[in-house]
Amino acid sequence: MKHAWTLTKVRMRLALRNRAFLFFSLILPLALLFLYLGIWGHGSAAPVPYLLASVLSLTVMGSFWGLSVQLVTFREQGILRRFRIAPVSAGAMLASSILSNYLMTLPTVIIEFAIARELFHLRSWGNITGIILLVTLGTITFAALGLIVASVTNTMQETQIINQMLWWGFLGLSGATLPLPTLPGWLQTLAAFQPATYLVTGLERVMVGQVSVLQIAPELGALALSAAIAFVISQQLFRWEPEAKVPRRAKLWAASAVIPFLLLGAWESANGQLRAEARADYQSIAQPSRSDLPR
Amino acid sequence: MTSAIIEVENLTKRYGEVQALRGVSFAVQEGEVFGLLGPNGAGKTSTVEILEGLRPADGGRVRVCGLDPQTSGDAFKQKIGAVLQSTALPDKIRVEEALATFASFYDHRRDTGALLKRFGLEEKRRAFYSQLSGGQKQRLALAMSLVNDPSVIFLDEPTAGLDPQVRREIYDIVEELKKERKTILLTTHYIEEAERLCDRVAIVDQGQVIVQGTPRELKHGSAGTTRIELRLARPEPDGALSKLEGVADCISSDGVYILHSTRVPQTIVSLVKHLEAQGNELASLEMAAPTLEDVFLELTGRRLRD
């Protein structure tokens, strides 16, 4: 693990020297913050926690792109094989991707909270422990999912295409852009089959409803399970060499990444908690000034 | 004789339809600089990458420092250093960062400041990798291969693509390492490099070691001949020059005829007579002691560099 920490420090330094990374991990989330809170908030403090939860979710989900994409570049340029000659394990390499992503997401999250409080009159921080847990598990989950894509694609171009496809699914079908209750029923059901929904709903609940950690146990459990499985799979799939073709076994592993989500979705469909909670939070802020929110 | 620190027995490797290695065997003694000399695609890099643990072999047996590179993991990696052929570092990593980062991975490490100094990178310590010239990048790669003070160093085409001056700088570094009694396995397709740096050389072609020995032994094995290289005003028909007196063999390539002669004066006399009779003229003629190129030519009928 000592090596993972060394690599984390190096990768953070490299990321901070990369303008594109700074744009996507700091400038873009802050622009979204002003867009959501400034325009859709209409100067009212009431919807701020709900809208901030969406912006936080987008910030956390951004780790799906983050440093995992950098890993593809490293592999294609033969940088990874230089590390492979040294006593560095795949686990240390992957853990450093996730950890550096996490450490660089945190300042953005804190800045978002500070701006919401100072400029948009956020009255309460919400359940801070719950927020920390959701942000942490969310970052790990999305970073690890990004690593899986990085391992099964052979070029940067392929990675971008698959990432875009998944990304729009995460955005559109989670409540991070369009509130879940405003979607047709069947799409709401479908939303329960992907991790982003658990992150968004969880954040909405601790920030709007200010519920206890125990009450978001299903969301935390879903994200923890996703994070653990995604990390194990990414470790199984990790490739050092650019020319090494993705073996069939690897594709099966990658495909098995959907199993926890199928189970979660099935469980959620049977219990129906997630939809009800999303609706309750949405209504609690949408009732007084429904027209304030995007439809 | 000390025991071999690198042992390679009957190594085979196939990539799809291509049989890259067809039973490569050699052994390297401790403190020796051993060269794998051969044209591109001969199987040099495949061999080295198997020895470095980067690729599994299909068959045969490999031991480096008594360990199997494929199964010994970090214990093996702690003992070796390598300059890889197709590799890079992140563009925005600083020279000193790269060296310190890699040094931190090892139990036993050298002073990185001293390495920067020794490889003439002190002034560039704060420079980004992307700002270095080709020669500086290669010197950094060499410095990085030494951070753990390895017992065995693999240098895969360390001077490929570098200009002659930088190449000589790299030679000086390798010669210094040689004085430190480091075991070095070097691959190259440059004759000069193999002759100048290597204690022993294995000539590799089409996935096989065709001959091995000290450069001197190999050249002597070249039938004690003298190399005569000539250009003519008009091309001669195939085989005409090989019939000249004292000629062991004759190969033509790109308008250059290379003769190996056991009796030089007789060969020259009969060459002049032959050309006179044919109404042909000599454009140039050079004579030299045989090089490893001649050994390769003799054994394969082809020149080392296409």
Let me know if residue B299 belongs to a domain.
Answer: no
Considering B219, B246, B277, which residue would you say is the last residue of a domain?
B219
Give residue B294's pLDDT: 76
Mean pLDDT taken over chain B: 90
Q: What is the pLDDT of residues B250-285, one digit of tens each?
A: 888 778 898 888 888 889 999 999 999 988 988 999
Buried residues in A123-152 as b, exposed as e (16+ CB within 10 A)? eeebbeebbebbbbbbbbbbbbbbbbbbbb
Give residue A291's pLDDT: 44
CATH code: domain of residue B233: 3.30.70.100
**Contact yes or no for B86 and A82 at CB 8 A:** no
What is the C-alpha R_g of chain A?
A: 19
Give residue A257's pLDDT: 73
Let me know if residue B297 belongs to a domain.
Answer: no
Backbone angles phi, psi at B249, to 5 degrees: -160, 160
Let me know if residue B294 belongs to a domain.
Answer: no
The minimum CA-CA distance between A134 and chain B, rounded to whole Å, is: 32
Q: What is the pLDDT of residues A242-280, one digit of tens each?
A: 876 677 777 777 777 777 778 888 888 887 677 777 788
Do B162 and B268 share a structural domain?
A: no
Q: Which of chain B's residues have a Cβ under 8 Å away from the Cβ of A20? A: none
**Contact yes or no for B84 and A85 at CB 8 A:** yes
Residues of chain A with pLDDT under 50: 289-295
Asked whether A122 and A208 are in contact (CB, 8 A), the reply is no
* Token pair listed for B102: 């890699």
Count: domains in chain B: 2
Asked whether B41 and B217 are in contact (CB, 8 A), the reply is no
Do B153 and B45 share a structural domain?
A: yes
| Cα–Cα separations (whole angstroms), residue A140 to A66, A144, A254, B172, B283 | 11, 6, 17, 49, 73
Let me know if residue B16 belongs to a domain.
Answer: yes
Q: How many A×B Cβ pairs under 8 Å?
A: 57
CATH code: domain of residue B193: 3.40.50.300
pLDDT of B223 over the 60 cut: no
Considering B165, B188, B219, which residue would you say is the last residue of a domain?
B219
Do B87 and B54 share a structural domain?
A: yes
Do B194 and B144 share a structural domain?
A: yes
Do B164 and B263 share a structural domain?
A: no
DSSP secondary structure code for residue A23 in this structure:
I
> pTM for the full model?
0.83
Do B258 and B161 share a structural domain?
A: no
Do B176 and B41 share a structural domain?
A: yes
Do B156 and B61 share a structural domain?
A: yes
Q: What is the pLDDT of residues B13-47, one digit of tens each?
A: 999 889 999 999 999 999 999 999 998 889 999 99
CB of A19 less than 8 A from some CB of B: no
Q: State which residues form the domain around B192.
A: 4-219
Instruction: Kindly identify which residue of chain A lies nearest to residue B78, measuring between CA atoms.
Output: A87
